[in-house]
Amino acid sequence: MNWDNTTLFSDDNPADAAFRREVRQWVDKNCPENLRDRPSRVTPPEMKPWHKKLFERGWIAPHWPREAGGMGATLEQQLILFEEIARIGAPTPFPHGLNFFGPILIHAGTPEQKARHCPGILSGDVTWCQGYSEAGAGSDLASLKTRAVLEGDHFIVDGHKMWTTNGTHADWMFALVRTDAEAKPRHAGISLILIDLKSPGVTVKPIKTIRGDAEFAEEFFDNVRVPKENLIGPLNGGWKLATMLLGGERFATGHPRNAAILLNRARQVARVTGADADPAFRQQLAALEIDLLAFTAYYRHGAALHGLGKVPESMTPVMKLAAGPLAQLASEFLVQVAGPAGASLADMEVDGEAVNPAEDLFEMRRVTVGGGANEIQRNILAKRALDLPS
Amino acid sequence: MEPILNEQQSLMRETAVRLCKDYGGPKRARALRNAGTEMDVPAWMELVRSGWLCAAVSEDAGGMGMGILDVSLALEEAGKQLLMVPFAEVAAVAHVLGKIGARAENQLRAVQQGLQILMPALPQEGWGNVGSALPIARFEGGQWFLDGRIRHVPFAQSAQSYLVAARIGDEIMLCAVLRHLVKLDTVANVDGSTSSELVMDGSLVEESQVMVRGAQAQELLETLRDLLAITTGAALVGVSAAALEMTLEYIKYRQQFGKALGSFQALQHRVADCFVNLELNRSLVYRVAASYDAGQMHAAMAAAVKARTSRVALSLTRDALQLHGAIGYTDEHDIGLYYKRAIALAALYGNDINQTARFSALTL
């Protein structure tokens, strides 16, 4: 039996198996060649044609309900789409609109808000970014200071957001802002509003990342007028919306695919460099593959429990603590396997494909920081799952 | 995370929790170790009565018609309570006997009824990756005679016979070898379990004790190896879980600097990492066992189970000792029993290094 680390433990029922075949064929035929197995990050403009194809096929938002324009797919179908896109090295559409904001909008938005914003998220015509972090509010997000003061029909927004992925390309931002400076606890004075980044008073500056690209940006808000109807949910009710886990989107962010792809890339590179004949390489690869198998087992177990509505509170932090470090180890392994080329800015040519181990290494550094650093996840586990005292 | 079980499985699990509590626990494990007792006979009798030795044997072959997942769930409990019985081994052997059919029928019935303990006796060193030659079988006057040595067989003094894979030229056979026809050289392990060298110097095996030969024997030997890896892995998950639980209790209660140890972030993060590792292993055992039962297991998955459950049991019990401070270094405290059981079980049926190498060979 061949070992395929991208579909471990996927026990599809006959209908799902047929769906998997259909997706596999379609993805292979329709994904633009220049986006497959890309060593460098795909930018929002490059992503658009692929996003559009998935949208036209009706597969762009498998986890959204049908009435909102999604597929209303089961979690199994969502995972199949995810896996089959990953299998050929195609990029997953950006999650900010589809996975982060979309579910909140569907859950808490007014009919007008949904009608206005859902179509753009689905078609990919509108690029969204998430405005949560600030210079002084990282892990301690509730200390955020960007202010929104209601004056008549508008909020007047002043402040500064940072570490915004796709910030320079984004049209809109869903942002957490302080609407009550006196509130105690602090998170009770935070609201979620939508900011059109073309509004007067908004200045966007790129931030060069460790990879050397401008994935991040910072935004300055100076007297920016945001219409009152851009408030999502209740005034001062933003924290709950931003931190609630809606449905199965956590399965998209925690998927074992990152590590699987990197380990397969390491195998490919090892065949070219000859490292695959080295027993030390094999033993290390096997150890990582074993960790990947264990994590995949946990992941599938969680997905099955999700279907039964029995997911324990510990699952999200455990997935994050397992997936991130594993992907990082895999990227570090890839750099080792590449030898001197692991330090190069230039791409390696492997089986006619471009591979850049250092790019992968840098890309993976983000996964244990974004969305609540792993140290925060450990705190959460200690308090909520292990019942340890403060 | 909790396994997803049907009603029958939940019931069996509840019974296993009770049985293992009643017939196990650190106090009992300590007493057995101090007395130099190889096997807990009352606990074994109870397991025979429960029928679980043949839980993963089909109903046609006289078993309960459940699976390796069910056996693994019970073994997790046995691991938690440090039961000193060859449950992992005999359940795996019974499953294999059930697959052989008519030629193993008598052996299986004797196992099921508690008339014999049939221990698998397979070469341990390198776990089949390197060295470890099988005994040689020769056929003379209508009977078989075995020559060779098999080291590190557990529970060998308590067994009535051994399931041995012997070589006949290019092929192998699986046969039952009677204990009194083998010379035993037994030493004690760190946890009070035993490790015996079986010396076969023309040990007689009657034709009726040869259960299977050739390609099928080779295949069943591989199955037996896989199952021993999974069942022992399940027990290691239990050992790890109990050690973590004991440690959490300790750091919640133990005060230093005027507050509970468990309130210090450095310690919280350490046990959080232990928890993550353990949770992944539980899912790994459940998924791999279920895959085996569904006929969809890749052999590398069994190797992964034993490699990772061994690795985590060793690191987790070591952390547990550290978090207990000086008391963890005493013989008096129970946490040391879990540490030592982890060492003993991790070493059996392929340790982390052996099984990782096996995984590698199976996936390249």
CATH number of the B217-363 domain? 1.20.140.10
Domains and CATH numbers, chain A: 14-93 (1.10.540.10), 128-238 (2.40.110.10), 254-385 (1.20.140.10)
Residue A247: per-residue pLDDT: 54
Given A293, A375, A388, which is nearest B263 (Cβ)?
A388
A125-179 residue pLDDT tens: 999 999 999 999 998 999 999 999 999 999 999 999 999 999 999 999 999 999 9
Instruction: State the catalytic residue, choosing from A249, A332, A359, A363.
Output: A249
Structure tokens at B147: 């020559």
Q: Which of A298, A299, A390 to mutate to test the interface with B (most CBs of B within 10 A)?
A: A298
* Per-residue pLDDT band at A28 (split at 50, 70, 90): very high
Q: Which residues of A touch B (CB under 8 A)?
A: 1, 3, 9, 11, 276, 282-283, 285-287, 289-291, 293-295, 297-298, 300-302, 304-305, 308, 310-312, 314-315, 317-318, 321-322, 375, 377-379, 381-382, 385-390
A222-244 residue pLDDT tens: 999 999 999 999 999 999 999 87
Report the gap between the CA of B308 and the closest CA in chain A (Å): 7
Nearest CA in chain A to B4: A305
- A271 has pLDDT over 90: yes
DSSP E strands in chain B: the ranges are 118-121, 136-140, 143-153, 161-168, 171-178, 183-188, 194-205, 210-213, 255-256, 259-260
Strands A353-355 and B183-188: what pairing?
Answer: unpaired
DSSP E strands in B64-160: the ranges are 118-121, 136-140, 143-153
Enumerate the domain spans of chain B: 7-117, 120-213, 217-363
> Mean pLDDT throughout A345-350?
92
Q: Which residues of B touch A (CB under 8 A)?
A: 1-2, 4, 248, 251-252, 259-260, 262-263, 265, 268-269, 271-273, 275-276, 279-281, 283-284, 286-288, 291, 294, 296, 298, 300-301, 303-304, 307-308, 353, 356-357, 359-360, 362-364
Report the gap between the CA of B268 and the closest CA in chain A (Å): 6
Residue A252: per-residue pLDDT: 72
Given A287, A298, A387, which is nearest B283 (Cβ)?
A298
Instruction: Report ipTM for this prediction.
Output: 0.97
- A384 has pLDDT over 90: yes
Residues in A closer than 8 angstroms to B4, CB to CB, are 301, 304-305, 308
Cβ of A389 within 8 Å of Cβ of B4? The answer is no
Report the gap between the CA of B327 and the closest CA in chain A (Å): 21
Cβ of A286 within 8 Å of Cβ of B275? The answer is no
Task: Tell me, letter by letter, the H, E, C secondary structure of A315-373.
Answer: HHHHHHHHHHHHHHHHHHHHHHHHHHHHHCCCCEEECCEEECHHHHHHHHHHHHCCCCC
Q: Please, what is the average pLDDT of chain A?
A: 93
The domain made up of B7-117 is a member of CATH 1.10.540.10: yes
Cβ of B284 within 8 Å of Cβ of A308? The answer is no
Cβ of A290 within 8 Å of Cβ of B1? The answer is no
Residues in A closer than 8 angstroms to B6, CB to CB, are none
Half-sphere exposure of residue B45, counting CA atoms within 13 Å on the CB side?
Answer: 4
- A1 has pLDDT over 90: no
A281-319 residue pLDDT tens: 999 999 999 999 999 999 999 989 988 889 999 999 999
Task: Return the CATH architecture of domain B120-213.
Answer: Beta Barrel (2.40)
- Bridge partners for B172 per DSSP: B167
A72: helix, strand or coil:
coil
- Bridge partners for B194 per DSSP: B188
H or E element that contains A217:
strand A216-227
Cβ of B4 within 8 Å of Cβ of A387? The answer is no
Question: One digit per residue, pLDDT tens: chain B, 364 residues?
Answer: 999 999 999 999 999 999 999 999 999 999 999 999 999 999 999 999 999 999 999 999 999 999 999 999 999 999 999 999 999 999 999 999 999 999 999 999 999 999 999 999 999 888 876 556 899 999 999 999 999 999 999 999 999 999 999 999 999 999 999 999 999 999 999 999 999 999 999 999 999 999 999 999 999 999 999 999 999 999 999 999 999 999 999 999 999 999 999 999 999 999 999 999 999 999 999 999 999 999 999 999 999 999 999 999 999 999 999 999 999 999 999 999 999 999 999 999 999 999 999 999 999 8
Q: What is the C-alpha separation between A330 and B188, in angstroms, rounded?
A: 40
Burial of residue B36, with CB atoms counted within 10 A of its CB: 0-12 exposed, 13-18 middle, 19 or more buried: exposed
- Output A284 or A215, whichever has higher pLDDT: A284
Q: What is the C-alpha separation between A39 and A262, in angstroms, rounded?
A: 11
Residues in A closer than 8 angstroms to B301, CB to CB, are 293
Given A286, A385, A386, which is nearest B359 (Cβ)?
A286
Nearest CA in chain A to B279: A298
Nearest CA in chain B to A315: B1
The residues, ordered by sequence, that sit 6+ positions from A258 with a Cβ below 8 Å of its Cβ are A323, A327, A330, A364, A367
* Per-residue pLDDT band at A245 (split at 50, 70, 90): low
Could you tell me the sign of the dihedral formed by the alpha carbons of A326, A331, A332, A337, in that order? Answer: positive
A325-362 core/surface letters (b: 16 or more CB in 10 A; e: else)? bbbbbbbbbbbbbbbebbeeeebbebeeeebbbbbbbb
Residues in B closer than 8 angstroms to A300, CB to CB, are 283, 287
Given B275, B283, B362, which is nearest A301 (Cβ)?
B283
Residue A302: per-residue pLDDT: 93
* C-alpha closest to that of A305 among A372, A314, B70, A376: A314
Q: How many interface pairs between A and B have CB atoms less than 8 angstroms apart?
A: 129
* Per-residue pLDDT band at A11 (split at 50, 70, 90): low
* Per-residue pLDDT band at A10 (split at 50, 70, 90): confident
Report the gap between the CA of A226 and the closest CA in chain B (Å): 42
- Cβ atoms < 10 Å from Cβ of B11: 11
Residues in A closer than 8 angstroms to B362, CB to CB, are 3
Residue B198: per-residue pLDDT: 97
Task: Look up tokens 């379609």; give the residue.
Answer: A26
Burial of residue A174, with CB atoms counted within 10 A of its CB: 0-12 exposed, 13-18 middle, 19 or more buried: buried
* C-alpha closest to that of B24 among B345, B341, B346: B341
Residues in A closer than 8 angstroms to B252, CB to CB, are 387-389
Residues in A closer than 8 angstroms to B286, CB to CB, are 297, 301
Q: Which of A383, A388, A390 to mutate to test the interface with B (most CBs of B within 10 A)?
A: A388
* C-alpha closest to that of A248 among A175, A316, A324: A316
Q: What is the C-alpha separation between A39 and B92, in angstroms, rounded?
A: 47
Residues in B closer than 8 angstroms to A3, CB to CB, are 298, 300, 362-363
Task: Identify whether A44 is preceded by a cis peptide bond (ω within 30 of 0).
Answer: no
- A257 has pLDDT over 90: no
Given A290, A321, A390, which is nearest B359 (Cβ)?
A290
Q: What is the C-alpha separation between A102 and A121, in angstroms, rounded?
A: 8
Cβ of B251 within 8 Å of Cβ of A388? The answer is yes
Task: Look up tokens 């990953």; give the residue.
Answer: A86
Beta carbons of B176 and B205 less than 8 angstroms apart:
yes
- CA dist list (Å): A63 to A26, A81, A95, A113, A347: 19, 11, 12, 19, 36
Respond yes or no: is residue A182 known to be catalytic: no
Report the gap between the CA of A295 and the closest CA in chain B (Å): 6
Report the gap between the CA of A389 and the closest CA in chain B (Å): 5
Given B268, B291, B294, which is nearest A382 (Cβ)?
B268
Structure tokens at B319: 């952390």
Q: What is the C-alpha separation between B279 and A217, in angstroms, rounded?
A: 37
* C-alpha closest to that of B55 among B100, B89, B91: B91
Q: Which of B257, B267, B276 to mutate to test the interface with A (most CBs of A within 10 A)?
A: B276
Residue A86: per-residue pLDDT: 83
Q: How far apart are the two ends of chain B, measured CA to CA in Å?
A: 31
Residues in B closer than 8 angstroms to A368, CB to CB, are none
Beta carbons of A374 and A382 less than 8 angstroms apart:
no
Residue B130: per-residue pLDDT: 58
Cβ of A282 within 8 Å of Cβ of B360? The answer is yes
The residues, ordered by sequence, that sit 6+ positions from A366 with a Cβ below 8 Å of its Cβ are none
Residues in B closer than 8 angstroms to A321, CB to CB, are 272-273, 276
Task: Tell me, letter by letter, the H, E, C secondary structure of B138-190.
Answer: EEECCEEEEEEEEEEECCCCCCCEEEEEEEECCEEEEEEEEHHHCEEEEEECC
Beta carbons of B148 and B180 less than 8 angstroms apart:
no
Q: How far apart are the two ends of chain A, measured CA to CA in Å?
A: 50
- A187 has pLDDT over 90: yes
